[in-house]
């Protein structure tokens, strides 16, 4: 092997090692950013809020549906003509469909719980990878500054329960 060939091979190997090192450094930073986001619990909190909101909406739908069903039952009993009784029974049949459709909430809650468990699992695995790479738990990195414009920064979606600056009751109190 000629000396020039060995030098070329060494230089190529050094370039590849530097590239690998840079890739690992970038990956560590991305994982640290991901871990920070997960540590904030934002994703889990958002999913929990979805489950709670769905449960509340389902409860409201079921309560109103039970009232309508009871009213239709009463109309069917008191109605003098057959057409009114048939309409009341038809309303009851439709309300049964509403009751059955509300079962989606339980399935939705189960699916979201699976997603939350997956997020927690990913967080644990990322933490373990960071420990293996660095030999210790890395110190948290600072969050990246928000570079969005003023209007765009307002587009964060609804506030989580308890996170709103002004309660709905306070807003309602402003309007007599």
* Per-residue DSSP letter, 148: S
Residue whose token pair is 């449960």: 55
Tell the burial category of 19 from Cβ atoms under 10 Å away from its Cβ (0-12, 13-18, 19+).
exposed
3 state SS of 146: coil
Per-residue pLDDT of 62-115, as tens digits, reads 899 999 999 999 999 999 999 999 999 999 999 999 988 887 777 877 888 788
pLDDT digits (tens, 9 = 90+) for 104-145: 777 877 888 788 788 778 877 887 887 777 765 445 544 455
Q: pLDDT for 29-59, tens place per residue?
A: 777 777 666 665 676 777 778 878 888 888 8
Give me Rg for the CA atoms of the chain.
30
Give CA torsion, residues 67, 69, 72, 76, to 10 deg: -130
Q: Supply the pTM of this predicted model.
A: 0.48
Q: Which residue has the tokens 């960071």?
A: 130
Determine contact, residues 35/130, Cβ cutoff 8 Å.
yes
């Amino acid at each position: 092997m000629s000396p020039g060939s060995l030098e070329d091979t060494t230089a190529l190997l050094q370039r590849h090692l530097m590239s690998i090192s840079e890739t690992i450094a970038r990956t560590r930073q991305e994982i640290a950013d991901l871990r920070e986001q997960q540590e904030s619990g934002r994703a889990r909190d958002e999913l929990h809020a979805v489950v709670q909101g769905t449960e509340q909406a389902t409860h409201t739908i079921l309560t109103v549906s039970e009232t309508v069903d009871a009213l239709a039952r009463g109309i069917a009993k008191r109605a003098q003509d057959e057409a009114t009784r048939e309409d009341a029974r038809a309303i009851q049949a439709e309300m049964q469909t509403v009751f059955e459709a509300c079962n989606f909430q339980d399935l939705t809650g189960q699916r979201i719980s699976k997603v939350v468990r997956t997020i927690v699992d990913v967080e644990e695995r990322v933490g373990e990878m960071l420990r293996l790479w660095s030999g210790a738990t890395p110190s948290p990195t600072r969050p990246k500054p928000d570079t969005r414009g003023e209007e765009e920064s307002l587009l964060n979606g609804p506030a989580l329960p308890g996170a709103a600056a002004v309660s709905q009751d306070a807003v309602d109190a402003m309007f007599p």
